[in-house]
Amino acid sequence: MDTEKAYREIVALAGGRDAARAVVNYLHDRLPASSWVGLYWVAGRDLVLGEWTGPEATEHTRIPIGRDVCGAAAASGRTEVVSDVSKDPRYLACFPPTKAEIVVPIVAAGKVIGEIDVDGRELNAFGPKDQRFLERVAEVLARMRVGER
């Protein structure tokens, strides 16, 4: 994937209507390793599922901050890259085919306000290039979300 081109396209999408959904759809279509893409937004002490795209819905629509992989990333403010979910005791299974996951916090004014959660069907689905790209996308989403309020 040409991440520079993808980044420019994401920035363009973020200016439009229903921008978070457009960004999620874009990531699901264009990020080769992704099988499911969702945004969780912080609500009190929980993460609450917002926009998502994938073959099926997850029953985990509310995850306490600090729990599971999603909650760990929200608590630390740092990206979690899980190359083999079967080896991570924090992993909360949503979809049987998922083998790897990346969770990228969305940070605004020093506070985690949400995160991007991407599942993949291959082991080691996400590398440093995906991490850098998604961290830039998270910055775009942070600016967009703050602009919405």
Total residues at the site for ligand SME (CB under 6 A)? 13
- Contact code string over 52-71 relative to ligand SME, x by CB under 6 A: ------x-x--x----xxx-
Q: Draw the binding track, 92-121, toward ligand SME (x: CB under 6 A; -: no contact).
A: x-x------x---------------x-x--
Question: Going edge to edge, which strands form the sheet with 80-82?
Answer: 62-64, 46-53, 34-43, 111-120, 100-108, 80-82
Q: Rounded to whole angstroms, how far apart are CA atoms 104 and 73?
A: 7
| Alpha helices, DSSP H, located in the chain | 3-13, 19-30, 68-76, 128-148
Q: How far is the CB of 31 from ligand SME (least distance, A)?
A: 15
- Residue ranges in contact with ligand SME by CB under 6 A: 38, 58, 60, 63, 68-70, 91-92, 94, 101, 117, 119
